[in-house]
Amino acid sequence: YGVIVNGELIRSDAVVLASGGYSALYKYFSGVDSAIGVLIGDAIIKGAIASSLEFIQFHPTAFIGKNRVILISESLRGFGAKIIDSNGKRFVNELATRDIVSREIFRRIISGERVFLDLRGINNIEEISPFVYNSLVEEGIDPKEDPVPIMPVAHYTIGGLFTDLYYRTTIRRLYAIGESAENGFHGANRLASNSLLECVVSGIEVARTIARDQPKSPRSPVNLKVFEGSLDSIGDLREILWNSVGIIREERDLKEALKKVEMLEIDPRIKILVIGIIKSAILRRESRGTHYRVDYPTINHKLSKRIIYDGRVVRFIGDQHVA
């Protein structure tokens, strides 16, 4: 194995994938453009198993700016910010979990309403959250004067490459950590701030694992397989996922989305990953954590298992509980 840098393969005994998640596969997302899971898809093509791909966390309170998304942390709701509709009426417990708050906001937005975060009750917002305050002012909104229009955005992807507790993937000498890995750390619904903790834990743990494993790569000649393809259709893909594989899901829409994605001309690494996301969301006929199915709105305790994906099929695995 190795890593390709400027077209050159740098070989090593072990490779640790730390390439982040895939929330930028959605039309609205909070992170960077490159978070489209290319290397997760690449590893799947090469035989790695992925898991829990259906669990995608949406952050409820983001402002969609001219050229950027400004995430407005829930700590401000802790300080008293209110979520209101255009009539100034509250409709959700602001301190409920992200999935609940996102769903309630999204329901209103798809029915044509606008939703706002009212920060006017926080007198010293510029001291509590200077980044949010200054960014909103730069966008022409004074949060001390006006409620801020908000919507949920894809924020964190719980799924990733299936690893054991020591961050080994199912490919020998390939390890994965952080948001690109999935070993049950976040269950079905990540608690806010746990991902940075996971980065620290997985980073230390994988170093220990590699020290113990002492992997040795045979230095035989490699038949380098490079998978690349066009990203021209990424806009269409983002639209499909946002509309049909997002905050509120339904079997009919998911199956329709799967057909559309299968027809799409796009980088095969992204395509294989997205097909896994949709197939996992179809298979999970219940609502649990970040995954909400309007046609199966309650939890089914018989499905307290993780779903794995081998690049072709998805299936539940036993004794691997998700909370």
Ligand X SMILES: Cc1cc2nc3c(=O)[nH]c(=O)nc-3n(C[C@H](O)[C@H](O)[C@H](O)COP(=O)(O)OP(=O)(O)OC[C@H]3O[C@@H](n4cnc5c(N)ncnc54)[C@H](O)[C@@H]3O)c2cc1C
What are the residue numbers of the active site?
98
Beta bridge partners of 176: 17
Q: Is the distance from CB of 86 to CB of 318 less than 8 angstroms?
A: no
- Please identify, among the stretches 29-37, 128-136, 161-169, 234-242, the one whose residues bind ligand X according to the rule CB under 6 A: 29-37
Instruction: Decide whether 84 or 119 has the Cβ nearer to ligand X.
Output: 119
Task: Give the nearest distance from C-beta 62 to ligand X in angstroms.
Answer: 9
Binding residue (CB under 6 A) for ligand X from 11, 12, 34, 297: 34
- Draw the binding track, 53-72, toward ligand X (x: CB under 6 A; -: no contact): ------------------x-
Q: Which residue is nearest to ligand X (CB)?
A: 178
Instruction: Decide whether 75 or 123 has the Cβ nearer to ligand X.
Output: 75
Instruction: Decide whether 154 or 322 has the Cβ nearer to ligand X.
Output: 154
Task: Find the binding residues for ligand X in span 125-184 (CB under 6 A).
Answer: 156, 178-180
Binding residue (CB under 6 A) for ligand X from 1, 18, 100, 256: 18
Instruction: Decide whether 97 or 304 has the Cβ nearer to ligand X.
Output: 97
Instruction: Decide whether 237 or 258 has the Cβ nearer to ligand X.
Output: 237
Binding residue (CB under 6 A) for ligand X from 67, 87, 111, 193: 193
Indicate the SS3 state at residue 116. Answer: strand
- Please identify, among the stretches 34-42, 95-103, 162-170, 240-248, the one whose residues bind ligand X according to the rule CB under 6 A: 34-42
Indicate the SS3 state at residue 30. Answer: coil
Tokens of 110: 């798809």
Alpha helix positions (H), 214-267: 234-244, 251-263
Size of interface with ligand X, in residues (CB under 6 A)? 19
Q: Is the distance from CB of 286 to CB of 303 less than 8 angstroms?
A: yes
Beta bridge partners of 315: 308
Using CA atoms, how far residue 147 sits from 18, 88, 90, 97, 213, in Å, is 38, 9, 12, 22, 55
For 171, other C-beta atoms within 10 Å of its C-beta total 17
Binding residue (CB under 6 A) for ligand X from 45, 96, 171, 199: 199
- The reply to whether 31 sits near ligand X by the rule CB under 6 A is yes
Tokens of 72: 């407005």
Report how far residue 58's alpha carbon sits from residue 153's, in angstroms, rounded to the nearest whole number: 5
Residues 6+ apart with CB under 8 A from 36: 22, 24, 25, 234, 270
Q: What length is written for the chain?
A: 323
φ/ψ (deg, to 5) at 47: 110, 0
- Please identify, among the stretches 92-100, 119-127, 194-202, 260-268, the one whose residues bind ligand X according to the rule CB under 6 A: 194-202
Binding-site ranges for ligand X (CB under 6 A): 18-20, 30-31, 34-35, 38-39, 71, 156, 178-180, 193-196, 199
